[in-house]
Amino acid sequence: MHLFKRIEFKNIDIYLILLMSALIGIGILAISSATSYSGDTSVLKSQITFFIFGLILMTIIMNFNYKFLGVWYLGIYTITNLVLLAVLLFGNDAKGATRWISIGPVQIQPSEFAKITMILCTARLISLKNEKMNSVVTIAQIGLFQFVPFILINRQPNLSTSIVILTLLVLQLFVSKLKMRYILGTALVGGITVAIAVGYIVSNPNQQILDAYQRNRIVTAVMGGDSQSDNYQTSRSVDAIGSGGLNGKGLYQGAISQLNYLPESHNDFIVATIAEEFGFVGILVLLGIIILFVGRGLFLAYVIDDDFGRMILVGYFGMIAAQSFINLGVVTAVLPNTGLPLPFVSYGGSSLWANMMGMGLVLSVIGNREETMF
C-alpha cells in the first residue's frame, strides 16, 4: 500500500468541485461587500489567498491514499490531541478564549482541523470494529476515543466545535452496523442529559460547567433577553435579513452591513449580509447549493462499497450540514450564538483550509473507488 495514489481526472467528482467553488465564490463576493465600508481590502485579499492555498492543500490531500492514512489513524489521533493540548498551554487569548496558536506569522485554529482528523480517525476505528459494534464495550471504547479531543476543545472554551465532533460520532455510528436499539438508546440518554444540563445551567448563575458568556447565550435563547446587550449581533442580523425583502437591496447596498451596524458581518453572520443584499431569493440559492452539495456527498457515501470510505463521507458531509444548520439557526435567532462559521462562505483561513482539506480527503475516497459513479 502506497502513501500517494494519483487520482485520475475522470474519477474526480466535478459536481462536488463546482458546488464547493460556488459556495466559495458567494463567500468572497459577500466578504467584499461586508468589508467595503472601511475601504480596507486586506480582508478580501486574505480570503482569496486562503482559497488559493486551500486549493494546494486539497490537491495534496486528494492524492494521498486515504486507506494508508487510515492505517496510521492512532498516530494522527495522538498528534491531534497533542496540538489541542499545545493550544491550551501556549495558545493566544482572544475575547476570553484560547483557540489560536501562532505558527510564524500565521495564526491557526487547530480545533477546525481536529474536526477533519477526527472524522478520519473515528471512521477508521468504527470500520475496524464494525463486526463487533453491538457490544457495550465497543461503544464505550469509541466514546472514550472521542472524549479526549472533546474535553481539550471544550476547555479552550469552544463548546460549539466540541458538540459538532460528538454529532459527527452519532452520524458515523448511524451508518455503522450498530443496531437501532443502541442508537436510539444512546440518543435518548444524550437528549435527557442535554435537557438536564441546560436546565441546570439556566437556573444556576454560579454554575461551573460553562463560562459566563456561554451561559448568557443559552439563557437568552431559552428565556429571551435584552437583544441590545445579550444578543446584539443576532438582533442586528434579524434586522438585516428582514430589510432585504424578496430581492435584496443590491450588492454593496446593504445599510446594516455597509454601515458596520452588524459585527462579524463577514464572518459568522455573513448570511445576514447575503440576505440584506440579495434578499430571500439569494438565501434560497445559497441553501440550494448547500443542499445539493451535501446531497451529492451522501449519495456517493450510499453507493461506495467500503465501510471506511463511507463513514468518512458521512462524517464530512454531516459536518457541513450540521454547521450550516447551526449557523443559519444563529443568524435567524432560532439558536443561541455559537461562533460557528458557515462552511466555505464565512471569512477565515483555518475554517476554509480545514474544509478544503476535508474535501481533498473526500476526493481521495471517491477517486479510489473501483468503478465510475454518476
In terms of pLDDT, which residue wins out, 243 or 24? 24
φ, ψ for residue 107 (rounded to 5)? -100, 130
Report the C-alpha gap between 312 and 67 in whole angstroms.
11
Helix (H, G, I), strand (E, B) or coil at 101: strand
Give the amino acid at 308: F
274 close to 30: Cβ distance less than 8 angstroms = yes
Residue 39: Cβ-neighbour burial (10 angstroms; 0-12, 13-18, 19+): exposed
Please give the torsion angle defined by the CA atoms of residues 41, 44, 47 and 51, in that order, rounded to the nearest 10 degrees.
Answer: -110
Average pLDDT of 157-170? 85
pLDDT exceeds cutoff 80 at 171: yes
pTM over 0.75: yes
Average pLDDT of 33-39? 81
Residue 222: predicted pLDDT: 57
Give the tens place of pLDDT for each residue, 197-216: 767 666 676 666 666 656 66
Report the C-alpha gap between 336 and 235 in whole angstroms.
11
Query: In percent, how much of the chain has pLDDT > 70?
Result: 87
Give the tens place of pLDDT for each residue, 233-290: 788 888 889 988 888 888 888 878 777 778 778 888 999 999 999 999 999 999 999 9
For the chain, how far is it from start to end, CA to CA, in angstroms? 27
Residue 374: predicted pLDDT: 41
Report the C-alpha gap between 244 and 192 in whole angstroms.
39
Average pLDDT of 120-135? 88
β strands within 149-272, DSSP E: none
All three cell numbers of 155: 476547555
pLDDT exceeds cutoff 90 at 81: yes
Average pLDDT of 109-117? 95
Which residue reads 496540538 in cell numbers? 83
Residue 97: predicted pLDDT: 72
The model's confidence at residue 372, banded by pLDDT at 50, 70 and 90, is very low
Report the C-alpha gap between 250 and 18 in whole angstroms.
25
pLDDT exceeds cutoff 70 at 184: yes
Which residue reads 479552550 in cell numbers? 156
Q: Which residues contact 22 (CB under 8 A, 6 or more apart)?
A: 289
Report the C-alpha gap between 183 and 257 in whole angstroms.
43
Give the tens place of pLDDT for each residue, 223-236: 555 545 446 778 88
pLDDT exceeds cutoff 90 at 370: no
Residue 211: predicted pLDDT: 61
Total Cβ atoms within 10 A of residue 36: 18
Residue 79: predicted pLDDT: 97
When the pLDDT of each residue in the chain is averaged and rounded to a whole number, the result is: 85
The model's confidence at residue 217, banded by pLDDT at 50, 70 and 90, is low
Average pLDDT of 183-191? 73
Q: Which residues contact 47 (CB under 8 A, 6 or more apart)?
A: 27, 28, 31, 347, 352
Helix (H, G, I), strand (E, B) or coil at 341: coil
Give the tens place of pLDDT for each residue, 326-367: 999 989 888 877 788 999 999 999 999 999 999 999 999 998
pLDDT exceeds cutoff 80 at 162: yes
